[in-house]
Amino acid sequence: MIKPGDVISYLEMCTEEGVNLQRGMNYNLLGNISVILMSLRPNAPYSDKIEEEGRILIYEGHDINKTQDTPIPKLVDQQMKNPSGTLSQNGLFYKAAQNYQKGKRAAAAVRVYEKLYRGIWVYNGIFKLIDAWQEKADDRKVFRFKLELIEEIPDRIRNRQPEPILEHNRMIPPSVKLEVWKRDKGKCVLCGSTYNLHFDHIIPFSKGGSSLVAENIQLLCARHNISKRDKIE
């Protein structure tokens, strides 16, 4: 069971979802949950943004696959449909957001993972998909998806996989994660362990601590994260 802020490997991420995650957008996987992978590293292929103190994620849709006819997908509009006519991942997420906007269905639940370095991922938590639109960016059309961090896990997901939200955490911006990772050298600040690491809020968000500054975030191993939590509660 993983918690928001946990550092995991690619393999652990796939094990958690029960599938081999090959692409960035995965609509409706096992147990009615969708998964998106994000990266805000400087050379990342898509421009994802974090707003409202880490409560809102604006996620960019994905390009078509590179083919002989489209050697540079970045020059072509992002597509609602696959060449076969079925909805693309953009289309599936877009339709779900539209249906939510029209009151036809509950917001889709989306688990968000973020790539920190090659092979190193961070789990950012469960979000709900609340809006989607298309816009012009560099002379082509791209999709944008608006996701909001869920404070309380809906029953339909809780049944599948209990996930404690003990501190109402906010998503830590990638730049802050990278700064902390470098500063703490990828180790628990208390014991130096490099296993089961977690981005810990030194002062919890619920007690006024910020997610936005590296000074309030540290790396702890699972053991020290749990012992710290026991002291706080």
Q: What is the dihedral of CA 160, 164, 170, 172, to 10 degrees?
A: -80
Taking the complex as a whole, the smallest distance from the CB of residue 134 to Zn ion amounts, in Å, to: 46
Structure token digits, residue 125: 């938590």
147 interacts with Zn ion by CB under 5 A? no
- Smaller CB separation from Zn ion, 122 or 220: 220
Distances (CA, A) of 91 to 134, 161, 164: 11, 27, 32
- DSSP letter for each residue of 153-185: --HHHHTT------S---PPPHHHHHHHHHHTT
Quick note: the x/- pattern for Zn ion over 148-187, rule CB under 5 A, is ----------------------------------------
- Give one word for 8, left, alpha or beta, with left for phi > 0 and alpha for psi -120 to 50: beta
- Smaller CB separation from Zn ion, 147 or 221: 221
Under 8 Å between Cβ of 109 and 27? no
Taking the complex as a whole, the smallest distance from the CB of residue 200 to Zn ion amounts, in Å, to: 10
Structure token digits, residue 156: 């339909």
Instruction: Number of helices (H) and strands (E) in the chain: give both, helices first.
Output: 5, 10
Longest distance between any two alpha carbons in the chain, whole Å: 60
- The alpha carbon dihedral of 207, 152, 106, 28 has a sign of positive
Taking the complex as a whole, the smallest distance from the CB of residue 112 to Zn ion amounts, in Å, to: 26
- Smaller CB separation from Zn ion, 50 or 221: 221
- Smaller CB separation from Zn ion, 44 or 190: 190
Structure token digits, residue 134: 């298309």
- Smaller CB separation from Zn ion, 55 or 223: 223
- Residue found by looking up tokens 């991942």 in the block: 89
Taking the complex as a whole, the smallest distance from the CB of residue 221 to Zn ion amounts, in Å, to: 3
Among positions 51-70, residues that touch Zn ion (CB under 5 A) are: none
Taking the complex as a whole, the smallest distance from the CB of residue 226 to Zn ion amounts, in Å, to: 10
224 interacts with Zn ion by CB under 5 A? yes
- Scanning 28-36, 60-68, 72-80, 224-232 for contacts with Zn ion by CB under 5 A, the matching segment is 224-232
Taking the complex as a whole, the smallest distance from the CB of residue 228 to Zn ion amounts, in Å, to: 10
Quick note: the x/- pattern for Zn ion over 181-210, rule CB under 5 A, is -------x-xx-x-----------------
Taking the complex as a whole, the smallest distance from the CB of residue 6 to Zn ion amounts, in Å, to: 14
221 interacts with Zn ion by CB under 5 A? yes
Under 8 Å between Cβ of 21 and 35? yes
Residues at the contact surface with Zn ion, assessed by CB under 5 A = 188, 190-191, 193, 221, 224
